[in-house]
Amino acid sequence: MMRLRRSHLICCAASKEKMAAHLSYGRVNLNILREAARKELREFLDKCAGSKAIVWDEYLTGPFGLIAQYSLLKEHEVEKMFTLKNGRLPPADVKNIIFFVRPRLELMDIIADNITSEDRHHSSRDFHILFVPRRSMLCEQRLKEQGVLASFINIDEYILDLIPYDGDLLSMEYESAFRECYLENDQTSLYHTAKGLMTLQALYGTIPQIYGKGECARLVANMMLRMKREFAGSQNQILPVFDTLLLLDRNVDLLTPLATQLTYEGLIDEIYGISNGYVKLPPEKFAQKKQGEGSKDLPTEPKKLQLNSAEELYAEIRDKNFNAVGAALSKKAKIISAAFEERHNAKTVGEIKQFVSQLPHMQAARSSLANHTSIAELIKDITTSEAFFDNLTVEQEFMTGVDTDKVNTYIEDCIAQKDPLIKILRLVCMQSVCNNGLKHKVMDYYKREILQTYGYEHMLTLNNLEKAGLLKPQTGSRNNYPTIRKTLKLWMEDANEQNPNDISYVYSGYSPLSIRLTQILARPGWRSIEEVLKMLPGPHFEERQQLPSGLHKKRQQGENRTTLVFFLGGVTYAEIAALRFLSQVEDSGMEYVIATTKLINGTTWIKSLMDRPESPTQ
């Protein structure tokens, strides 16, 4: 028993190491950021001496998982964890109760309810609040009104703006950012973005050049420049790691997220949804094939897998077009079985020893291969279906500008078949974007069809889509999408899916507009596309931040420059794949690190813009 426990501990330690490993492989060591975040968490936990229970705002558990596993909490005497909900707190024999919450009024009311239902005679527990990512006077005011503010020993904030997601990827996991910015004119997420970028600069040096396109980008840049003035005097003496920051508004490129992603990772996200780095898959394909057990019942729990670059095979295939994944998998299978065959060649003791020492790695590779083969099979079932093909055909027609000004029969049929509403909305919005707005007649027809089929309550959602510019009536001006498409080469007829030579491979022909802008900024520069930039919404700008003398980089011959691309309002996996592709292109001279408010796909994005009035009877 004892031995088992110890080995378990070693396992934990090893997996912890591994967990962080995927963050440090890239050009910029994002582990520094994660470590800073972990340190702060430990410091807070130690502030509350004694045993603790954490009451979680459920939304936060996912993002926190990227920073710290339960083991870290346990090391700091966290014994219980609960989900925040109304009523009395579950019993726990601990000294401290800590609420981990976002600063939201509705959550304050729940906390107040928790505290007032606490048995005062019986308990002598200490209460604490940790606001993530920032304290809020408004919330504290609310707690005060509810008469519970004085019950808290510690009220603190845990500044978690940018969460390291992978070796080249930071996300704020701020789901409602796009909605808040474009529907509600609420710039909270932008403030957090600016703060997060300040933290990043404190750790990785001042970023000397800032480019941006879009209203929100402009606001973030303004806030950053002001915050820099506010910290004047405390000069940052770190050699800058990033050469450039590019801030891009999601509404500069509304088209890309609407299209179905065709990379491996993109498709996993489209079909099963990746949340905080994990995906849940139907279990049937992952049934354990253990000897002796025979055919037991199939597992019913979904299979949960973590997806990041720590897994060698996944790092290799995640960004490939799905059509190239099969070949990659079978190549990998050959390599692995060849490696296992090696054992027959191992003759001497030394050779056998060498072989055995590689076994764990090989076995991990084999199970990883098995997993991804299963996932690829699952996906293939869908991508080879007629429905998928038809849908893709229509998308590509729209993107190439075919018949975007008429009511599309496929969409009509889908509505008649009562296909999922979000699918319809994605297509209609896409048509609208690709036509720079729909004719009144066409738009009203679609809207009526949607309301009659899916219900009048979607009136509000349609209204939101219009406000966000995803759905708009054509105004007098000419349809400028063809010009944009041609100038930026958004459609490449001969996209090579197997051995790509252009970013268009991620959508099998369509090159994401946002990434084209990024690519052109690096070379030859935005001046070459002034005309098109003017057609896209929001201002474009350039700012320089003074570096303290002595911190100017002396670039080695052939050393790449590093750009941080920040997508305000979300980014898709396919766009990330395209940027990674650009980083790898040999003569590009540029490496990209990606940051975003949230990883999105068309479905999650549209969903975040929907409004469903609650009816009292349901």
Partner 1 sequence: MAFITASWNPLGDAFYRKTDLYEMSWSLRDGLRDSLVAAAPYGGPIALLREPQRRSPSSRPQLEIYSASGGTIASFPWKSGPVVQLGWTVSDELLCIQEDGTVLIYDLFGSFKRHFSMGQEVVQSQVMEAKVFHSPYGTGIAIVTSSSRFTLATNIDDLKLRRLPEVPGLQGKPSCWVVLTQDRQTKVLLSNGPELFILDNTSCTVVCPPGLSPQDGNIVHMSVSFSYKYLALLTDSGHLWTGLSTLQEKLSDVDTKKTMAPKQMLWCRRPKSQQPSVVLMWDRLLLVVGVCNETIQYPIEDPCVLVGEMDGVRIISSSNQELLQEVPLVCQDIFKIASMAPGALLLEAHREYEKSSQKADEYLREIKEQSMLGEAVRQCVEAAGHEYDTNTQKSLMRAASFGKCFLTDFSPDQFVTTCRELRVLNAVRDSSVGLPLTHTQFKQLTLQVLIDRLVYRQFYPLAIEVCRYLKIPDYQGVSRVLKHWASCKVQQKDLTDDAIARAVCMKVGDSPGVSYSDIAAKAYECGRAELAIKLLDFEARSGEQVPLLLKMKRSQLALSKAVESGDTDLVYTVVSYLKNEMNRGDFFMTLRNQPVALSLYRQFCKLQEQETLKDLYNQDDDHQELANYYVTASYREKRLEGRLSLLQSAVDEYNKAKNEFAVKTTEDEMRLLRFQRKLDDEKGAGLLGLSLQVTMETLLSLGLHKQAEQLYKDFRVPDKRYWWLKLKSLAEKEEWDELEKFSKSKKSPIGYLAFVEVCIKCNNKYEAKKYVSKVTPEQKVKAHLAVG
Interface residue with partner 1 among 24, 69, 188, 545 (CB under 8 A) is 188
- In 264-385, alpha helices (H): 264-271, 312-317, 322-345, 349-383
Task: Give bridge partners of residue 128 from the DSSP assignment.
Answer: 98, 154
| Per CB under 8 A, 233 contacts partner 1 | yes
Minimum CB separation of residue 512 from partner 1 in Å reads 29
How many residues touch partner 1 under the rule CB under 8 A: the total is 52
Interface residue with partner 1 among 187, 201, 321, 514 (CB under 8 A) is 187
Whose Cβ is closer to partner 1: residue 288's or residue 615's?
615
| Per CB under 8 A, 444 contacts partner 1 | yes
Interface residue with partner 1 among 117, 367, 452, 501 (CB under 8 A) is 452
Interface residue with partner 1 among 106, 293, 297, 494 (CB under 8 A) is 106
Please, is 506 exposed, middle or buried when counting C-beta atoms within 10 Å of its C-beta (0-12, 13-18, 19+)? buried
| Per CB under 8 A, 190 contacts partner 1 | yes
| Per CB under 8 A, 382 contacts partner 1 | no
Whose Cβ is closer to partner 1: residue 13's or residue 416's?
416
Minimum CB separation of residue 447 from partner 1 in Å reads 7
| Per CB under 8 A, 137 contacts partner 1 | yes
Q: Are strands 303-306 and 278-281 parallel, antiparallel or unpaired?
A: antiparallel
| Per CB under 8 A, 412 contacts partner 1 | yes
In total, the chain counts a number of residues equal to 618
Interface residue with partner 1 among 451, 522, 547, 551 (CB under 8 A) is 451
| Per CB under 8 A, 449 contacts partner 1 | yes
| Per CB under 8 A, 460 contacts partner 1 | yes
Choose the binding region for partner 1 from 10-18, 229-237, 360-368, 496-504 (rule: CB under 8 A): 229-237
Contact 390, 414 (CB under 8 A): no
Instruction: Please name the residue that has the structure tokens 């969903």.
Output: 607
Whose Cβ is closer to partner 1: residue 232's or residue 338's?
232
| Per CB under 8 A, 107 contacts partner 1 | no
Minimum CB separation of residue 201 from partner 1 in Å reads 17
Whose Cβ is closer to partner 1: residue 417's or residue 475's?
417
- Return d(Cα 265, Cα 273) in angstroms, integer: 10
Contacts (CB under 8 A) with partner 1, residues 418-437: 418
Interface residue with partner 1 among 63, 103, 208, 240 (CB under 8 A) is 103
Does the N-terminal peptide bond of residue 133 adopt cis geometry, omega within 30 degrees of 0? Answer: yes
Choose the binding region for partner 1 from 296-304, 317-325, 416-424, 577-585 (rule: CB under 8 A): 416-424
- Return d(Cα 206, Cα 544) in angstroms, integer: 10
Minimum CB separation of residue 2 from partner 1 in Å reads 46
| Per CB under 8 A, 346 contacts partner 1 | no
Minimum CB separation of residue 272 from partner 1 in Å reads 27
Contact 163, 171 (CB under 8 A): yes
Interface residue with partner 1 among 184, 351, 381, 542 (CB under 8 A) is 184
Choose the binding region for partner 1 from 14-22, 44-52, 576-584, 609-617 (rule: CB under 8 A): 609-617
| Per CB under 8 A, 105 contacts partner 1 | yes
Whose Cβ is closer to partner 1: residue 352's or residue 460's?
460
**How many CA within 13 A on the CB side of residue 262?**
28
Whose Cβ is closer to partner 1: residue 119's or residue 413's?
413
| Per CB under 8 A, 144 contacts partner 1 | no
Contact 573, 263 (CB under 8 A): yes
| Per CB under 8 A, 545 contacts partner 1 | no
Whose Cβ is closer to partner 1: residue 95's or residue 135's?
135
Identity (one letter) of the amino acid at 333?
Answer: A
| Per CB under 8 A, 352 contacts partner 1 | no
Minimum CB separation of residue 598 from partner 1 in Å reads 18
Please, is 61 exposed, middle or buried when counting C-beta atoms within 10 Å of its C-beta (0-12, 13-18, 19+)? middle
Dihedral over Cα of 259, 264, 268, 271: its sign: positive
Minimum CB separation of residue 611 from partner 1 in Å reads 8
Nearest Cα to Cα of residue 210 among 235, 247, 241, 236: 247
- In 542-596, alpha helices (H): 573-584
Minimum CB separation of residue 100 from partner 1 in Å reads 18
| Per CB under 8 A, 454 contacts partner 1 | yes
| Per CB under 8 A, 196 contacts partner 1 | no
- Return d(Cα 250, Cα 282) in angstroms, integer: 32
**How many CA within 13 A on the CB side of residue 551?**
19
Tokens of 474: 């054509």
Q: Which residues, in sequence order, are CB contacts of 546 under 8 Å at separation 6+? A: none
Whose Cβ is closer to partner 1: residue 58's or residue 230's?
230
Instruction: Give, for 244, the enclosing helix (H) or strand (E).
Output: strand 244-249
Q: How many other CB atoms are found less than 10 A from the CB of residue 526?
A: 15
| Per CB under 8 A, 138 contacts partner 1 | yes
Please, is 453 exposed, middle or buried when counting C-beta atoms within 10 Å of its C-beta (0-12, 13-18, 19+)? middle
Minimum CB separation of residue 452 from partner 1 in Å reads 4
Nearest Cα to Cα of residue 188 among 212, 164, 228, 223: 223
Interface residue with partner 1 among 88, 226, 331, 486 (CB under 8 A) is 226
- In 439-572, alpha helices (H): 440-454, 459-467, 481-487, 513-522, 530-535
| Per CB under 8 A, 186 contacts partner 1 | yes
Q: Which residues, in sequence order, are CB contacts of 170 under 8 Å at separation 6+? A: 30, 33, 162, 163, 164, 200, 593, 594, 595, 596
Minimum CB separation of residue 45 from partner 1 in Å reads 24
Interface residue with partner 1 among 50, 273, 302, 455 (CB under 8 A) is 455
Q: Which residues, in sequence order, are CB contacts of 466 under 8 Å at separation 6+? A: 472
| Per CB under 8 A, 223 contacts partner 1 | yes
Q: Which residues, in sequence order, are CB contacts of 180 under 8 Å at separation 6+? A: 186, 187, 188, 189
Footprint of partner 1 (CB under 8 A): 103, 105-106, 134-138, 141, 184-188, 190-191, 194, 219, 222-223, 226, 229-230, 232-234, 412-413, 415-418, 444, 447-449, 451-457, 459-460, 463, 611, 613-617
